[in-house]
Amino acid sequence: MKIIIIGCGKVGRTLAQQLSEEQHDIVMIDIQSQKLQEFSEDVDAMYLAGNGASISIQDEAGIRSADILIAVTGSDELNLLCCLIAKKVSKCHTIARVRNPIYSQEIGFIRERLGISMSLNPELATATEIARILRFPSAIQIDTFAKGRVELLKFKLKPEFHMNGLAVSELADRFKCDVLICGVQRENSVAIPRGDFVLQDNDVISIVAAPQNSAAFFKKIGLATHQVKNALIVGGGTLGFYLAQQLLYMKIKVRIVEKDKARCELLSELLPEASIINGDGTDKKLLLQSGLPSTEAFITLTNIDEENIFLSLFAKEQSSAKLVTKVNRIAFDSIIDKLDLGSVVYPKYITADYILQYVRAMQNSIGSNVETLYQILDNKAEALEFYIREKGPLVNVPLMDLPLKNDLLVCCINHRGRIIIPRGHDKIQVGDTVIIVTTRKGLQDINDILRK
């Protein structure tokens, strides 16, 4: 497909890289030619310097024959205007990044009146991701499928779980829980495990299960499953506001440390139930006085990655809190992984996942669509949920008889609301949703899981 991306920032670059890998024709537009020049060596795309809201620039980019226009500049208004102009001169789908909380409350109206196909709020999406983690603090990451009926949870194996040397096939008998291990990270390698794969302490594993089954499994291995009761947030920006709002709704006590006095006053008005502390979040004494030693969750949301990382490391020394660390840039992700910063969230990846999901569903015409998509295992694998719309070569065939590709696992079948962790005799039916975990990126249809 031909895709025009306006805005060569963090999200725009991430999208361009991933969509280019999937063989789409990409056109990048940014008002700063230097940004485009820096990025042009990394991705094979057409690059245009100029205002993305200009009809002449959009025409030069080929808007009239484009399939999708994605506007992810730093300005909500510019993004909306770019999409509006694109809709007036073409039939392409439009996606806008809209971050302002005021617009978020009116997004239904904006979509309907401006004809925008999809709107995304990275801060709100990231806040939702963090809130989900704090509901189940034992997990490093939680992704949901089948409208919340299925969870994919990532956690680290510790010696006290007594799973060292256990083969994946022995899991069900040992713990009597209907869960499936679908991914294992061991140092720098990632595996989609078969039944004979042997687990080791310090592996980071991902499991798929219904929420009640995952809770039962964690309880049996000795991991706490209750949500946190209080949280200390460093950084009172838009993301901090959205997160505090969600945590307060969950009845979690919230304290926010923010150094800008005017912002503190605004937060006090918007979040009367939260405690707002005006001060520098990097001040050790202030953090200790703000209750760091006794807090159950510590979330670092400043705009400086290094600050967030060092604050989490300090909190790890001073408390037993659940740590959540926001990271924007990922040039040193392999080093970050070794620091044990708790749950590390990357807003640009969360945003890119939503857009990739939309793009794949759009281009899919064989009869089954990508309903949900997550980049998992440090972005080295994908978890996809497909909806089976019509009969095909894998419908009503036992899984054991299907010629499935390597490095791929059918993790779950949602059959009319009944969650099945599949075994060899189970079959996929029309109307089911199916969850696939694979290191083969770019699957666009459920039939892509079969060897040709």
- Cβ atoms within 10 Å of 174's Cβ, excluding its own: 13
What confidence score (pLDDT) does residue 291 get? 93
The model's pLDDT over 288-308, given as tens digits with 9 standing for 90+, comes to 999 999 999 999 999 998 999
**Token reading at 37:** 């020049």
What confidence score (pLDDT) does residue 378 get? 73
CATH class of 2-120: alpha beta
Q: How far is CA 233 from the centre of its chain?
A: 20
Residue limits of CATH 3.40.50.720 in the chain: 2-120, 230-345
Where is average pLDDT lowest: 140-144, 330-334, 336-340, 412-416? 330-334
At the fourth CATH level, which superfamily is domain 230-345? NAD(P)-binding Rossmann-like Domain (3.40.50.720)
| Torsion sign over Cα 101, 348, 231, 300 | negative
Residue limits of CATH 3.30.70.1450 in the chain: 361-449
**Token reading at 96:** 């806008």
Residues of the chain with pLDDT > 90: what percent?
51
The model's pLDDT over 6-19, given as tens digits with 9 standing for 90+, comes to 999 888 988 998 88
Using left for φ > 0, alpha for ψ between -120 and 50, and beta otherwise, residue 383 falls in: beta
Give the C-alpha distances (Å, rounded to integers) separating 45 from 26, 69, 81, 144, 262. 5, 14, 23, 33, 43
**Token reading at 101:** 């909380």
CA distance 11 to 73: 9
| Sheet of strand 381-388: strand arrangement | 368-376, 381-388, 433-438, 408-415, 418-420
Strands 204-209 and 180-186: antiparallel
Instruction: Indicate the fold that domain 361-449 takes in CATH.
Output: Alpha-Beta Plaits (3.30.70)
The model's pLDDT over 300-334, given as tens digits with 9 standing for 90+, comes to 999 998 999 999 999 999 999 999 999 887 566 66
What confidence score (pLDDT) does residue 296 get? 95
Residues of the chain with pLDDT > 70: what percent?
97
C-alpha dihedral, 46 to 50 to 51 to 55, nearest 10°: -70
| Residue 363 pLDDT grade (very low, low, confident, very high; cuts 50, 70, 90) | low
CA distance 392 to 394: 6
